[in-house]
Amino acid sequence: MRTATVTINPQAMTHNLMQVKKRAPNAKVLAMVKANAYGHGVAAVLPALVLADAIGVASFTEALEARHLGWDKAIGLVEGVFSADEWQQAIDNGCSCVIHHAPQLEWALECIPAVDSPVRTVWLKYNTGMNRLGFDEQGVVSAAKRLHGAGYALILTTHFANADDREHPLTSTQIQRFNDIFAILQRDVDKNIKASLCNSAGIVNYPDSHCDWVRPGIMLYGSSPVTDQSASELNLQAVMDFSAQIMAFQTVKQGATIGYGSRWSAEEDTRTALVSVGYGDGYPRVVNNDAHVNVVDALTKDSYTCPVIGRVAMDMLVIDVSSTPIDLALDSEVILWGAALPVDDVAQHAGTISYELLCRLSNRPLRVIV
Ligand SMILES: *Cc1c(COP(=O)(O)O)cnc(C)c1O
């Protein structure tokens, strides 16, 4: 049987959540599970998040899925609702919403949830420099006044554009802008207003800005959110192992080429193996010459680093197994990323970030939860 396999280890996620709590002991945790839990599968990860205070999703559909899976704690809609209708549905399903532009503000003021509803607390988004979602300086003060006047509790929130890079000057500007407005709102509008700035990178790089709520995503999945420290240096554990198996061996003669576009040619006779995984499963089609996999000898369990050669195809890729024993077993496991091979490394070889590789996995691999 073809066995490209995604294995999810919820214990690793619980471990990573504890790392978040250790770094931000006084903050509540909104654990981000948007995009099907960064490709891991919401159902697989929710049980590992019972100690989170809330989960965050991008859409109401994702919120409903989590509710159907039995998540009964708070859910935050980080893009808020898209219509007055959806605002009503958010109230019916107890989803806390971001309010980031005028129409959402009007929907919230037209239809006010009950005093004990979680929807009675709103996340008011202030644009401090990302320039995607959020009110500007004047807009946020007036929105806060109107919401507070209507009985809403407020969490002022913003999102960093460059928190992964400790040296980037925009982050301190964003923090300054945030703190200025926060002080004004606290003084003039609502002395109990709460604050939330940090995604994973902010949690690691800006401990003074943890405030009331942190919003970790990628670090919960065991990938590094920052440019200058690896996941293992941050004591994070990979939640996903992505693996396949060797399906056949070949010896490619000197001068012969491999695969579509014949972009790799053998400088000498080369032992190669075909691996039953490709971009149809979610392995990136374009990788550079440093891309490699780990082959685990089915007999000895020894592990070998083997370069990916030739163009990755839809259903298979080719690796150079020159460094492995000559009697390497067919069916030997090939690790594409996971605990033994950081997804951050593969992302770098593919010119992207771990987030994209994880989210882009297809439905084809077998899914296993350990
Ligand atoms: C996705 C998201 C996060 C989590 O970001 P990571 O970089 O994965 O930690 C935090 N806040 C908001 C608003 C988000 O959309």
Which of 221, 253, 276 represents a domain boundary (last residue)? 221
CATH of the domain at 88: 3.20.20.10
Instruction: Tell me if 331 is assigned to some domain.
Output: yes
End-to-end Cα distance, the chain: 20
State how far the Cα of 367 lies from the Cα of 65, in Å rounded to an integer: 18
Side-chain-facing half-sphere of 41: CA atoms under 13 Å:
17
Claim to verify: residue 137 and residue 283 sit in the same structural domain:
no
Pocket test for ligand 1, best of 132, 199, 200 (most atoms within 8 A of CB): 199
Q: Are residues 287 and 250 in the same domain?
A: yes
In this structure, the answer to whether residues 140 and 200 fall within a common structural domain is: yes
Tell me the mean pLDDT in the region 173-181.
98
Active-site residue, 34 included: yes
Q: What is the pLDDT of residues 218-267, one digit of tens each?
A: 999 999 999 999 999 999 999 999 999 999 999 999 999 999 999 999 99
Centre of ligand 1 from the C-alpha of residue 218, in Å: 8
Q: Ligand 1 pocket: which residues have CB below 6 Å?
A: 32, 34, 78, 159, 199-201, 215-218, 225
Count of domains in the chain?
A: 2
Shared domain for 39 and 182, answered yes or no, is: yes
- Write the CB contacts of 287 (distance below 8 Å, at least 6 apart in sequence): 308, 312, 346, 349, 350
Query: Is 363 inside any structural domain?
Result: yes
In a domain, 3, yes or no: no
On whether residue 245 sits in a domain, the answer given is yes
Mean pLDDT score across all residues of the chain: 97
Residue 366 CB burial class (10 angstroms; 0-12, 13-18, ≥19) = middle
349 pLDDT more than 90: yes
In a domain, 27, yes or no: yes
Range of the structural domain that residue 181 is part of: 10-221
CA-CA distance, 361 to 147, in Å (whole number)? 40
Q: Are residues 129 and 277 in the same domain?
A: no
Which one of 169, 191, 221 terminates a domain? Answer: 221
Cα–Cα distances in Å, from 335 out to 37, 291, 327? 21, 12, 19
**Token pair recorded at residue 78:** 């980080």
**Index of the ligand 1 atom closest to the CA of residue 355:** 8
**CA-closest candidate to residue 362, choices 318, 314, 308, 300:** 314
Q: Whose CA is nearest to atom 14 of ligand 1?
A: 78
What is the rounded CA–CA span in Å between residue 329 and residue 299?
7
Question: Which of the residues 34, 125, 221, 355 is marked catalytic?
Answer: 34
pLDDT in tens, 276-311: 999 999 999 999 999 999 999 988 999 999 999 999
Query: Is residue 179, in this structure, part of any structural domain at all?
Result: yes
Q: pLDDT band at 165, cuts 50/70/90?
A: very high
Distance CA 368, CA 363 (A): 12
**81 and 214 in a common domain:** yes
Instruction: Indicate whether 67 and 199 sit together in one domain.
Output: yes
Strands (E), 147-281: 153-157, 194-196, 213-214, 240-252, 257-258, 264-265, 270-275
- Whether residue 176 sits in one domain with residue 83: yes
Q: What is the CATH number of the domain that holds 355?
A: 2.40.37.10
192 and 276 belong to one structural domain:
no
How many residues are listed for the chain in this entry?
Answer: 370
Residues 213 and 303 grouped into a single domain:
no
Cα–ligand 1 centroid distance for 339 (angstroms):
23
Contact 251, 272 (CB under 8 A): yes
Tell me the best of 133, 196, 215, 236 to mutate to test the pocket of ligand 1, counting ligand atoms within 8 Å of each CB and taking the most: 215
Do 204 and 270 sit in the same domain of this protein? no
| Alpha-carbon span 181 to 183, nearest angstrom | 5
